[in-house]
Amino acid sequence: MAGWRFIFKPGLTIATALALALLIALGTWQVKRLEWKRDLIARVEARTAAAPIPFDEALARAEAGEAMEYAPVRLSGRMDAGGTAKVFGSYEGEAGVYVFAPLTTDDGETVYVNEGFAPQALRDELAPPAGEQTVTGLLRYAEKPAPPASWFQPEGKSADGLWFIRDPKAFAEEAGGEALSYYVDEFAVAGRDWPKGGTTRLKFNNRHLEYALTWFGLAAALVGVWLVFSLKRPD
């Protein structure tokens, strides 16, 4: 680039510096978010590997503000097929339903248990075990209610009784009762083919590295553009 001359352009330089500072700040923020997300994933994975604790203990800790989702729990109570809800979903690429059955504990609280996945063909053939049951699984929080229905987002429940959201309170209200907003993803049960328990998959959207590289890449490109407009070709 012999003979090229650098021409200082105050307006361009100031605008570039401001934009560059913003892009670097956004990239740095995404790096911090990446570190936070990795720590979150590690803590959740460690939590799922812990020994099951009584449901009441996990509930009390969750109500006190402690992060308890995906903590292994155990609870006992009476299962009632009358309030069963079936939620549309898929497992390993196959469409079907997840069977949610209400379990009433000894202290009168109703907790919905996600017994697991079943193919669509078995949807109307499944009923939860009746009577006293002991359940072990992962504590889960209810999904937030869906926004108003649209072409892309169906209502919470279809006309034929199939749900599209995991909302125990809504399940119970439909059945004329009440339930906690927490539910339990049951572990696999020996000797039971369907519903298939133990289907919980930990899913975390972690694209922060991609976003950080995008912001830093834009910052580098901006510097390149600034140089192009600040250099003058020799006559």
For 45, residues 6+ apart whose C-beta sits below 8 A from its C-beta are 202
Reading the block at residue 100, the tokens are 């949610």
Helix/strand/coil for 7: coil
Taking the CB of residue 49, how many other CB atoms lie within 10 A of it? Answer: 8
Taking only the tens of pLDDT, the chain with its 235 residues reads: 556 777 888 888 999 999 999 999 999 999 999 988 888 788 777 787 888 999 888 888 888 888 888 889 999 988 877 788 888 888 888 888 888 889 998 888 888 999 888 888 777 777 777 778 888 899 988 887 655 554 444 556 665 678 888 888 888 888 778 888 888 988 877 777 788 887 777 777 788 999 999 999 999 999 999 888 888 766 5
- Integer Cα distance of 153 and 220 in angstroms: 39
What is the C-alpha radius of gyration for the chain, rounded to an integer number of angstroms?
27
- Integer Cα distance of 25 and 229 in angstroms: 24
Specify the pTM. Answer: 0.69
- Integer Cα distance of 235 and 224 in angstroms: 22
Selection from 55, 143, 134, 125 nearest residue 84 by Cα: 125
